[in-house]
Structure 1
Amino acid sequence: MGFLEFLSAVFGVIYFTAWSVSFYPQVLLNFRRKSTSGTTVDFPLINCLGFAAYATSNLAFYYSPLIRAQYAARYKGLTPTVHFNDIAFAAHALLLSVITTSQYFFPGAWGFTPSKGNRPSRFILGIFFGCVVGIVVVLFIVLGSPERDSTQKAVSSWVWLDAIYAVSYVKLIVSLIKYTPQVIVNYRNRSTRGWSIWQILLDFSGGILSIAQQAVDSYLQRDWSGITGNPVKFALGNVSMLYDLIFMTQHYVLYRGADGKPEEADSLLGRADEERRID
């Protein structure tokens, strides 16, 4: 193993560790506070869909001989830049996202105080079901293509590789929007109270190393199709880091040391109580 291969492996291990550990601070903070106030279920809920899609596409790129052959036919004989640590990370992230989501949907089981953020927004629900419909549509298109199992026609026809890309793009869409509701909540509260900054710092570190690993792998192949052929992994790191910078600005600059507006903090519970009485 050469130096660059070793460096790629090290980057993979560290980014896998950083991203994986980043899912624990919010779960533990919620548990310690016995509440999810100040945060919204939108983030962990849409993460469940995103990481289910990410795990599925990574498994296909890594294990499926047909998908790998169609990828090679489309990208000049290259192999997908997917590592086993990508699969392990996606599976672990999906599990932690499900656990975190359960804290919002089943607060009583966790012994939590109910919060207004326990109900998903229409925006996130629309994205959730819109992505599912999009995947189903692409699957029907691929099923209707007579060349779907072909490797020779992978460049010009609809094949199973396109179905896997459709699944992987769900993760990209989720990454583009999943942090937005929490950014807005922090802005309205004038505080990041309840939102763990440690998950953001770890996520930022993992994003840098994920992109670095992909760049090293592409350089070793002497072809940047390693990035263009796997845009989700590349965009995942970039988009996450942009949002991380926003959260760090909110936490360390804009709302540093702020506990939030008292009336807003009270309303997180008051509105929830009111909604239950209406229901």
Structure 2
Amino acid sequence: MASSFLEIISRLFGWVYTLCWSLSFYPQPIVNFRRKSTSGTTVDFPAINILGFAAYFISNVAFLYSPHIRKEYALRHHGLTPTVQPNDVAFAAHATVLSAITLSQYFPAIWGFDKTANRGSRISKGIVLIIIGSAIVVGGASFIVSLKHDDDPKSGWAWIDVIYTVSYIKLFVTLVKYFPQLVTNYRNRSTKGWSIAQILLDFAGGILSLGQLGIDSYLQHDWSGITGNPVKLALGNASIFFDILFMVQHYCLYTGKQGRALYEDEEDPLLGESGRPERTN
């Protein structure tokens, strides 16, 4: 009886956190559209989000629907199945699409935004290098596994390691993607243009995601359900940590401030020599 109740709670947590995290992708493009501007935000955030969530989608689909990957997972985790749920796949797919839509807003001609208010939307070299490096890492892992396909999947190289590599890309992206926006808020002395609603929804989703992971592992009577899904564990913790930093910026440090004026002749190190940030309104 208790197990059935916990299974219901797990599913409820899963779909509610999926809803919270999914809804968190709407406030920023809506704010951009209403302002006809992306000023106050950085293009790096949606750009690297596409990479991260595409990787997350691929790894979730493999863990949930690939018989071969699930078999290799079971060999390494006492015959258990991955703790990935259908809501994880749905969330990753939705997040990838919404990130692409948000990225498109940094091209003023597409949305009819004022071009003079949306300069400096070039993706930074650091993000470009991360994207290229991710492709190289996954390609390298695939090459190694193809050479060692006769290894024992339980202890040697196997295709599940390629999937883990793809999932670690999402983990790495989550650890670095917030920094450009945090620095932008700090330099502007304001969170103007950056939607706090997305942060609150993201925070709630992170709490519920960790709750579902814990319940699922408890039901399996094996906490390797957590260690076997390190990306979901890290995503929840990382999201909560950075969300708290954004909330401190918005509600404590820069509350009521319109932001320090940024002049067209002042170079923004986040943008490099290719762009100049606009004066905040």
Could you say whether these structures have the same fold, taking a TM-score greater than 0.5 normalized by the shorter chain as the test?
Answer: yes
Tell whether the 8 Å contact from 1:37 to 1:117 is kept in structure 2 after alignment. Answer: no
Kindly state the Cα deviation for residue 267 of structure 1 after the two structures are TM-superposed: 3.1
AA aligned to 2:175 is L
Q: How does 1:87-126 map to 2 (within 5 A)?
A: 87-104=89-106, 106-114=107-115, 115-126=118-129
Amino acid at match of 1:7: I
> How do 1:1-279 residues align onto structure 2 when only pairs under 5 Å count?
2-104=4-106, 106-114=107-115, 115-147=118-150, 153-262=152-261, 264=262, 266-267=263-264
Which shows bigger deviation, 4-13 or 138-147? 138-147
Distance in 2 between the 1:146 and 1:140 partners? 10
Give the alignment's TM-score, normalised by structure 1: 0.92
Give the Cα separation in 1 of the matches to 2:76 and 2:179.
35
Which structure shows the higher helix fraction? 1
CA distance in 1, matches of 2:275, 2:257: 29
- 2:221 maps to a residue whose letter is R
Following superposition, the deviation at residue 147 of structure 1 comes to 2.3
| 1:131 shift after superposition | 1.2
Q: 1:210 touches 1:237 (CA, 8 Å); kept in 2?
A: yes
How does the TM-score come out when normalised to structure 2? 0.92
Q: 1:111 to 1:260 in 2, by over 3 A?
A: same
Distance change in 2, residues 1:276/1:208 (3 Å) = closer
Moved over 4 A (4+): 268-272, 274-277
Unaligned runs of 5+ in 2: 277-281
Task: In structure 1, give the amino acid aligned to 2:256.
Answer: G
Contact kept in structure 2, 1:207 and 1:240, CA below 8 Å: yes
| Percent of paired sites with the same residue | 58
| RMSD across aligned positions (CA) | 1.9
CA distance in 1, matches of 2:266, 2:186: 18
CA distance in 1, matches of 2:274, 2:131: 24
Separation in 2 of the partners of 1:60 and 1:41?
30
Contact 2:50 2:96 in 1 (8 A): yes
C-alpha distance in 2 between matches for 1:162 and 1:116: 41
1:180 deviation in Å? 0.5
CA deviation string 1:68-95 (max 9, x = no partner) = 0000001110100000000000000000
Question: Cα offset for 1:275?
Answer: 5.2
Alpha-carbon distance in 2 for matches of 1:237, 1:116: 33
CA distance in structure 2 between the partners assigned to 1:171 and 1:207 by the alignment = 15
When residues 269 and 31 of structure 1 are mapped into structure 2, their CA distance, relative to the original with a 3 A threshold, is: farther
Q: Which amino acid aligns with 1:62?
A: L
Q: 1:90 to 1:269 in 2, by over 3 A?
A: farther
Aligned-pair CA distance for 1:108: 1.4
Distance 1:45 1:276 in 2: 17
How much has 1:222 moved relative to structure 2?
A: 0.6
Instruction: Say whether the 8 Å CA contact 2:191–2:250 is kept in structure 1.
Output: yes
Post-superposition CA distance 1:102-145 (Å, at most 9, x none): 111x2111111242441111221121211111111111111111
Task: Read off the aligned partner of 2:21 and give its amino acid letter.
Answer: W
For each residue in 1:149-197, what CA deviation from the matched residue of structure 2 results, as whole angstroms up to 9, or x when unmatched?
A: xxxx212111110010011100000000000000000000000000000
Counterpart in 1 of 2:279?
none
- Paired residue total: 269
Q: Is the 8 A contact 2:10 2:215 kept in 1?
A: yes
